[in-house]
Amino acid sequence: MAATGEQQGREYLERYKIPELLHNLSALLLYHRPERPREFLIHALERVKLAKLTDAEYPYLVDESNLDAMFEMLDTASQGYITLVQYKGALKTLGLSTQDLPYEEDATITLEIFKKEVKKLLQESWAIYQS
Amino acid sequence: MDATSRPLRVPREMGIYAEKHELFQLLQNMLEGLLIHKPDEPIQYMISHLKQDNDHVPRICILGPPASGKTTIATWLCKQLNTPCITQETLLEETLELTKEVTAFQERGQKIPNALWANLIQERLSNVDCIKQGWILEGFPENRDQAWMLQLAGITPRHVVVLYAPDTVLIERNLGKRIDPSTKEVYHTTFDWPSDPLVQQRLVEAEGISEQETAKHLLEYHRNFPRVFQIYQQILKLINADQPCADVFSQALTYVQTWCRSAAPFTPRILFCGPPGSGKSLQAALIAQKYSIVNICCGQLLKEAVADKTKLGELIKPYFDSRWPVPDNIILKLLTDRLNRLDCMTDGWVLHGFPRDLDQAEQMVKAGIIPNRIFFLNLPSESVMERLAQRMIDPVTGERYHAMYKPAPLPEVQARLKQNPKDTEENIRICLETYYRHAGDLEEFYDNAFYINADQDPYVVFEYIESCIVKPLPHKS
């Protein structure tokens, strides 16, 4: 009985991606360190809910300027592009999936593509949560 | 996290923040709720869970054989904790949706099925007062099935108090039970006799108090209880009911106010304050050894810096030479550097010898050095004198002696013993005076500190300190 109970619990968590959601929420909490964490969480969750219904923004931890800075750090020689390996590394640092990337081995990624792709992936990572 | 990967540098503020706001417990409770109820809309569920804000409300079951005093203890606890008390009788009196069904069963003279009880309780517990203030369930569950039904409904108590007493005592006690028919209050012929003669006159014997009936109830209780015990053994506390009510109550109250240890990551940041000779260094060394955390003595740290000829050490040296106290900002700089090193950040630290006054304590907080366990070791001045002023050293062998605890073995050794000039009574008195001048301020500043009588065996003190470190801090309501 205990085993099935545990299995059911795990399946439930898997289905609704609860661990990932909690992970993201705690990252938000620790980064912003609000005075009233409970209210902050309620607010963040409500934003997620709203963003699912409309096109509003999810409570991202990284914003555009962060992505700019990140790209600059990777592109040390200011060539205007980074390699696929560097791109994958960046995605991993951001906690995003590096599977199914539509690029060749020797592809180069410019700042515009980088920002667009990362944003898309970030949005996808939040969109999997069901209200 | 994988312990073999390189140590992760987490900013110190994050750890302190998470600890202060108990983020771990917050998220854990949320996950617990999600797993129990498995809602189809988890985000909506999480929002309403967070809005309820009831992680710390009491959820208590009080169980015990008949006449063990469950009702008395439950009513007192309810008054103390300001929570609604739920018994089978109160459930029947209230107008809930399921009450009709239950009374129908009663009228037909049938036993009320366990599932119905569980549903009834679930309905009652989802009322606002129970959500906001918690609940105390008295005399339920009576058997394993009921306990299971409660669990299926997602109702789990946090504390279970079980009263016990020898059967003969209970039978004897039940014989004296009297009830006031107009107010329904319970009195007892020997233990709780009303002072008002009017009340005395109208008291009647309670139902089912004869020896046979009590024995029958007891038998049933003994048959059912072991199974209930199995289910709740993790959170169960047995209290002997064969003692004065107030004693039973105080034990029960202490138990329900303790919180179980959480699995939240915990880095000990311990601070010892106390007069010289109170055993700060010894206790710190013991703790540091047992839990492999970093032991930091402030005086030692200064001496090390001077000996290493570091930049800060060069600054400190003139003060040492002229015997002036080292300025606070230098000490603080040194301390912050040391406590921010990786070993202190990951393993935790135990600090003693600093802060010595309120100003230093305030600066320490400003520098982000925030201890999470603070101990004051208290010791009468005579004991300090006894411990410190009689220490001697043998200049030939380097052996240390104490006139009382470790006297010199031979008269010739005794004759050549020398005393450290720091250990004269005069000197110690000055040290003590400076300590007590600031001790009051410090005690006021650290309001969640533990106070320990240091005038006992070092290992007794150590055990007490350990228990305080391991247990979570009590909640301030």
> How do residues B287-342 score in pLDDT, each as one tens digit?
999 988 999 998 888 888 889 888 888 888 888 888 888 888 888 988 988 888 88
Rounded to whole angstroms, the maximal C-alpha distance in chain B is 98
DSSP state, B472? P
Distance from CA of B14 to the nearest CA of A (A): 6
At B1, the pLDDT band (50, 70, 90 cuts) reads very low
Q: Look at A38 and B53 and tell me if their CB atoms are within 8 Å.
A: yes
Return d(Cα B259, Cα B158) in angstroms, integer: 9
More confident residue, B114 or B428: B428
Q: What is the dihedral of CA B23, B27, B29, B34, to 10 degrees?
A: 170
| pLDDT for res B374 | 92
Q: How far is B231 from chain A (nearest CA, A)?
A: 13
- Interchain pair B43, A29: CB under 8 A: no
- Asked if A49's CB is within 8 angstroms of B43's CB, the reply is yes
What mean pLDDT, rounded, does chain B reach?
Answer: 84
* The predicted structure's pLDDT at residue B5: 53
CB distance B27–A26 less than 8 Å? yes
- Answer whether A129 sits within 8 Å of B47, measured CB to CB: no
Contact B38 A37 (CB under 8 A): no
Task: Flag whether pLDDT at A131 surpasses 60.
Answer: no
**Residues in CB range of A61: below 8 A, 6 or more apart:** A24, A27, A28, A31
Nearest CA to CA, how far is A12 from chain B (Å)? 7
What does B74-139 look like in DSSP terms, one character per residue?
HHHHHHHHT--EE-HHHHHHS--TTHHHHHHHHHTTPPPPHHHHHHHHHHHHTSHHHHHH-EEEES
pLDDT value at residue B350: 93
pTM: 0.72
pLDDT in tens, B399-454: 888 888 888 888 888 888 888 888 888 888 888 898 899 888 898 898 888 999 98
Residue B269 to chain A, least CA–CA distance (Å) = 20
Could you tell me which of B177, B173, B174, B179 has the C-alpha nearest to residue B202?
B179
Tell me whether A59 touches chain B (CB under 8 Å): no
**Residue at token pair 């804000």:** B53
Confidence of residue B477 (pLDDT cuts 50, 70, 90): very low
Instruction: Say yes or no: B341 contacts chain A, CB-CB below 8 A.
Output: no
Using the predicted structure, report yes or no on whether residue A75 has a pLDDT greater than 80: no
As to burial, measured by CB atoms within 10 angstroms (0-12 exposed, 13-18 middle, 19+ buried), residue A19 is exposed
Size of the A and B interface in Cβ pairs below 8 Å:
58
Q: Return d(Cα B316, Cα B260) in angstroms, integer.
A: 46
Lowest mean per-residue pLDDT among A58-62, B5-9, B244-248, B376-380? B5-9
ipTM score for this prediction: 0.74
Q: Does B43 touch chain A (CB under 8 A)?
A: yes
B424 neighbors B433 (Cβ within 8 angstroms): no
Type of residue found at B92:
L
First to last CA, chain B: 34
**Is the link from the previous residue into B65 a cis peptide, with omega within 30 of 0?**
no
Question: What does the pLDDT read at residue B181?
Answer: 76
A42–B21 CB contact, under 8 Å: no
pLDDT digits 0-9 by tens, B162-211: 998 888 888 888 887 787 777 777 777 777 777 778 777 777 777 777 78
Q: To the nearest whole angstrom, how far is the Cα of B6 from the nearest Cα of chain A? A: 16
- In angstroms, rounded to a whole number, what is the distance separating the alpha carbons of residues B60 and B135? 6
CA distance A59 to A48: 7
- pLDDT score for B244: 85
- Is the confidence at residue B346, as pLDDT, over 70? yes
Cα angle value B41/B45/B47 (rounded, 5°): 125
- DSSP category for residue A129: S
Per-residue confidence at A114, pLDDT binned at 50, 70, 90? Answer: confident
Averaged pLDDT, A102-108: 72
What's the whole-number average pLDDT of chain A? 78
Q: DSSP letters of B3-46?
A: TTSPPP---HHHHHHHHHTTHHHHHHHHHHHHHHH--SSHHHHH
* Whole-number percent of chain B with pLDDT over 90: 7
Distance CA B44, CA B122 (A): 21
How far apart CA A99 and CA B34 sit, in angstroms, is 30
The pLDDT value recorded for residue A21 is: 84
Backbone angles phi, psi at B85, to 5 degrees: -105, 135
Instruction: State residue B474's pLDDT score.
Output: 67
Q: Which of residues 2 through 31 in chain B touch A, CB cutoff 8 A?
A: 13-14, 17-18, 21, 23, 26-27, 30-31
Which among B23, B34, B51 is the nearest to A37, CB-wise? B23
| Stretch B115-122: mean pLDDT | 82
Given phi > 0 = left and psi -120 to 50 = alpha, else beta, which region is B94?
A: beta
Q: DSSP state, B270? A: E
Q: What is the mean pLDDT of residues B203-229?
A: 83
CB contact under 8 A, A22 and B23: no
| The dihedral sign for the CA sequence B310, B315, B321, B325 | negative
Ordered DSSP codes for A20-57: HHHHHHHHHHHHH--S-HHHHHHHHHHHHHHHHHSSPP
B90: pLDDT strictly greater than 50: yes
B34·A25 Cβ contact <8 A: no
Residue B43 has pLDDT above 60, yes or no: yes
